[in-house]
Amino acid sequence: MPVKYVLKQRESGQSVDDLQLFDHEELKTYFWYNRLKKGKTKKQEKSAYTPKYFMDSFSAIQFLRGLPLSVGKKIEFPVITRNKGLAFQRCC
């Protein structure tokens, strides 16, 4: 289960800093986002509740790599990105 997610992007004429901290005891996530593009800054800071078991987008990919995947099988689990819950499913 993830504890922290960090993204630092310096490309395509933009600078992005994305930090998410996950508190599994309180079932909360804390999110900070800062993007500088064409001289304009977009900042966000939020916190939200999470489901008991979830993953961030990078952890989800690593989790799927270790599963025995087969054609027609569906795997679903919650993914938290920028304080938004996404229903993630992988069809093989």
Q: Mind listing the pLDDT tens digit for each residue in 3-37?
A: 898 989 999 889 999 999 999 999 998 999 999 99
Alpha helices in 1-92 (DSSP H): 57-65
Percent of the chain at pLDDT > 70 equals: 88
Write out pLDDT tens, residues 33-73: 999 999 999 999 999 888 888 888 888 888 888 888 888 88
**Alpha-carbon distances, residue 12 vs 15, 32, 38 (angstroms):** 8, 21, 10
Question: Over 80: is that where the pLDDT of 85 sits?
Answer: no
Nearest in space to 85 (alpha carbons), one of 49, 36, 32, 44 = 49
Look at the pTM and tell me if it is higher than 0.85.
no
Q: 23 is in which domain, residue-wise?
A: 4-91
